[in-house]
Amino acid sequence: MEFFNVDLLDLWRGRLSLRRVGVLVDSLMKKSGRSALLMAMDERASWPESTYLLARVSDALELSNFLFLKANAEKTDDLDLPTPITRPGDPEPEPEPAPVLATGEEVSAFFGQMNAL
C-alpha cells in the first residue's frame, strides 16, 4: 500500500492480518484529499474540495450576472439561463420531452363539454 508502506504479500506470509488490512482500507476511505481507491470507488472524489467550491462560486456569479441583466436590460428575450459547471459523478441531464399538444378536435370536444355544464 502506497500510503502506509505495507506490502500486501505479508498477508499471505502471515505477517499481516485481515483485520489490519481492513483498518488500513477504512483509514484510506477517511483520508482527506484524493486517493486512488476513493477515485476508483466514487468519481466525485477526482475533484478536491476547493475545486467544488470554485465551481459553486462560479455558478453563483453567473446566476447573479444573469439576474442583474434580466432586471436591468431593456431587451432580455435572448438571455438564456446559465448552465452550471458539470461536476464529476453528476448524472447527465435528461432532455426535456417535447410537449404533447391537443388536436383541434380534442379542444373542440373539451369546450363542448364545458358549455354543457
pLDDT in tens, 60-115: 999 999 999 989 888 878 888 899 999 888 887 788 888 888 889 999 999 999 88
What is the distance between the alpha carbons of residues 50 and 47, in angstroms, rounded to a whole number? Answer: 8
Closest CA to 87 of 117, 46, 116: 46
Closest CA to 11 of 27, 2, 22, 3: 22
pLDDT at residue 56 greater than cutoff 90: yes
What is the distance between the alpha carbons of residues 105 and 111, in angstroms, rounded to a whole number? Answer: 10
DSSP 1-17: -TTTT--TTHHHHTSS-
Structure confidence at residue 40 (pLDDT): 76
pLDDT digits (tens, 9 = 90+) for 21-43: 888 888 877 766 666 677 777 77
Mean pLDDT, residues 45-71: 91
